[in-house]
Amino acid sequence: MSKKKENKPEEQDEKDLEKNSEELTEQEGKPEAAENADGENDGTAEELRKKDEEIAKIKDQLMRNMAEYDNYRKRTSRERMELEPEITAKIVAEFLTVADSLERALSVECADENFKKGVQMIYDSFMETLGKLGVEQIAADGDFDPAFHQAVQQVQAEEGQESGQIASTFQKGYKIGNKVLRFAMVAVVA
């Protein structure tokens, strides 16, 4: 029996707690009723609620702006990475005429060997720089490949030549990776 007497006050406390929590829940659902019941906090509770809404709106705007900026940063970075090879290819293509001029200068007879040696050094340095940029010469011997060669002339087959092979090269071709900067101009065996 003593256990029943001890349980009654605990049960009463639980009932009181439930009743209080129900009242609080009802008041939270109806803030005006709670304010009117207090009487003191009419204006401040309403102001707090408005400020909380304003803060939530500003936080939402801030999060959206941060996400937008992050997307913009990623997009511009990706576009820059995609444009870099295109820009390099366009600039290098303009310098290929310099390589052609240096090759022509090397093929001409020259009385001054030191002068020719200097031109050779310039040409080697220039080609090394192009190599650092990823520029490669297109092979201009073997079979004709329309992806890399431009046939400007057909010649009759001589001994040891087969149809479709490159007979001679008029202008060297260059590429960066798989992108052709300039097709090799060749004569093809008919």
Q: Give the model confidence (pLDDT) of 107-157 as tens digits.
A: 999 889 999 999 999 999 999 999 999 999 998 888 899 999 999 999 988
Reported as a pLDDT band with limits 50, 70 and 90, residue 62 is very high
Among candidate residues 129, 170, 132, the one with its CA nearest the CA of residue 149: 170
Pairing of the two strands 179-182 and 149-155? unpaired
Q: What is the DSSP letter of 165?
A: B
Together in a domain, 113 and 153 = no
pLDDT tens digits along 4-53: 444 455 556 556 656 655 655 555 455 544 444 455 567 899 999 999 99
Amino acid letter for position 121 = M
Q: What is the pLDDT of residue 10?
A: 54
Q: What is the pLDDT of residue 42?
A: 75
Q: Rounded to the nearest 10 degrees, how much is the dihedral formed by the CA atoms of 9, 12, 18, 24?
A: -90
Identify the CATH number of the domain in which residue 150 sits.
Answer: 2.30.22.10
The residue out of 133, 148, 166 marking a domain boundary is: 133
Instruction: Give the relative orientation of helices 31-38 and 42-107 as an angle to the nearest 10 degrees.
Output: 140
Together in a domain, 118 and 159 = no
Together in a domain, 56 and 129 = yes
Within a domain: 43: no
Counting runs of H as helices and runs of E as strands, what totals does the chain give?
Answer: 4, 6
Rounded to an integer, what distance in angstroms lies between the CA atom of residue 96 and that of residue 112? 26
Within a domain: 116: yes
Mean pLDDT of 78-98: 90
Together in a domain, 125 and 57 = yes
Together in a domain, 63 and 122 = yes
- Please state, in angstroms and as integers, the Cα–Cα distance from residue 53 to each residue in 34, 48, 61, following that order: 19, 9, 12
Q: What is the pLDDT of residue 162?
A: 84
Together in a domain, 103 and 164 = no
Together in a domain, 79 and 142 = no
Q: Tokens for 175?
A: 């590429």
Q: What is the pLDDT of residue 114?
A: 92
Together in a domain, 67 and 125 = yes
Identify the CATH number of the domain in which residue 89 sits.
Answer: 3.90.20.20
| Residue 3 confidence (pLDDT) above 70 | no
Range of the domain at 119: 50-133
Within a domain: 61: yes
Within a domain: 20: no
pLDDT tens digits along 153-173: 999 888 778 888 898 899 999
Residue 169 contacts residue 184 (beta carbons within 8 Å): yes
Within a domain: 72: yes
Would you tell me how many other CB atoms lie within 10 Å of the CB of residue 42? 12
Q: What is the pLDDT of residue 131?
A: 93
| Residue 65 confidence (pLDDT) above 50 | yes
Q: What is the DSSP letter of 108?
A: S
